[in-house]
Amino acid sequence: MPGRSSFGSVEALPSGRYRARYATGVGSWKSAPTTFSTKTAARAWLARTQVSLEQVAAGSPKAVQASRPPRLRDYVAEWIAERRNGRGEPLRPSTRRTYESYLRLHLSPKRLGGMRLDEISPEHVRAWHHELDSAHPTGRARVYAFLRTVLATAVSDDLIAANPCRIRGAGQARAVTPVEVLTPHQVADLAEAVGERYAAAIHLGAWCQMRVGEVLALRRRDVDLDTRIVHVRRGVTWIDGVAMFGPPKTDAGIRDIAMPDIVVEALQRHLIGVGGSGDALLFVGRTPGSPPPVQTFADAVKRAARRSGLPLTFRFHHLRHAGLSLLAEAGASVAELQARAGHSTPAMALHYQHARAIRDRDLAARLDVVIAGGAGQIKQ
């Protein structure tokens, strides 16, 4: 139940935080730019806002200036500090660091960062976007998508009337590194080339379609060879060289994956050298109890890829593409692909369905050649 006072109201949210807002007309409300950790803080904001509005009404120049929306860089910093994930939890350290780098490198130093929210126009955003480094299209797209999300919150907070980020397609980018879709034979060669230490990781990446952070976070108890299930419950990222374990970014990432024979057999061989504790990591780096740093692991995979004759552009993530593409060709539905891969939306699963359709058309074209050849023989 919202707690009301003579000015505004404070409402407890499902996340455990508090929203403060006040009436601006009949049936119209204006909320605080952020939510608050305590009811007292929310009420304090209402009190300050009431005083400010009274001063504005009295014509105080300082109050008029203070009542305007904040500058972009200040709002972004506050947005990051208050941001929560879909489960109402604080951002993961790696995500927070990424957002802070966007603010530090791409927003604060630019003219856009010093502008007040209500001063920013679509023209300003286009000029800022044009200045971003076009040599890194993926990073450019992510920074733009970040700004668009932040300003969408500003719209929800009634700080601006509309989002000025309106560049069509600017939040999307094609991968610079082409995706290598390996055949089962190539996956087997890669697993052999990487050696016993990481062979099972290669098979998990390809045939259980797992991300690298999910694979390297696996514990002995996450793998059940009797039921042939691998339980994905967490991932690992590295902050200043320190492994940080946490739940997947979305609830879709928490999943149980059925293992095909080749993965079960690889894990049976691998587990011979793993400690008996259920919390023991499957893949251990040089520091006892810690996984290999992601770059160390990536370098080992790259060396194995070169020995296997794979292109220099090959990455561990391409194994996921191989597995999902084969599943699509085998007739897996969008929902099945989405669930197995841990995608939060059907968009990526549709990508593999599209690949299956292209493959089907290719097979039809080959059939045309065979039919045409046969027809020619009949005519003779």
Q: What is the pLDDT of residues 22-68, one digit of tens each?
A: 888 767 788 886 778 888 888 887 887 887 777 767 765 554 444 57
For 242, the 3-state DSSP assignment is strand
The alpha helices in the chain, defined as continuous H runs, are 39-57, 61-66, 72-82, 93-102, 111-114, 122-131, 137-156, 184-194, 199-207, 212-216, 261-270, 294-307, 318-329, 334-341, 347-379
CATH 1.10.443.10 describes domain 184-354: yes
CATH 1.10.150 describes domain 72-156: yes
Mean pLDDT to the nearest integer, 165-177: 80
> Which listed residue (17, 320, 321, 340) is catalytic?
320
Sketch the domain layout of the chain as residue ranges: 3-66, 72-156, 184-354
Work out the number of other CB atoms within 10 angstroms of the CB of residue 308. Answer: 18
Our answer to whether residue 343 is catalytic in this structure is: yes
Largest CA distance in the chain: 100
> Which listed residue (17, 270, 340, 343) is catalytic?
343
pLDDT bucket at 286, cuts 50 / 70 / 90: confident
Contact 340, 257 (CB under 8 A): yes
Q: Mind listing the pLDDT tens digit for each residue in 297-330?
A: 999 999 999 999 999 889 999 999 889 888 888 8
Our answer to whether residue 320 is catalytic in this structure is: yes
Our answer to whether residue 317 is catalytic in this structure is: yes
Q: Mind listing the pLDDT tens digit for each residue in 108-133?
A: 999 999 999 988 999 999 999 999 98
Our answer to whether residue 354 is catalytic in this structure is: no
Calpha distance 355→362 (Å, rounded): 11
Our answer to whether residue 136 is catalytic in this structure is: no
> Which listed residue (211, 255, 318, 340) is catalytic?
211
Q: What six digits make up the tokens of 70?
A: 């904040």
Q: How far is CA 370 from CA 289, 359, 377, in A?
A: 58, 17, 11
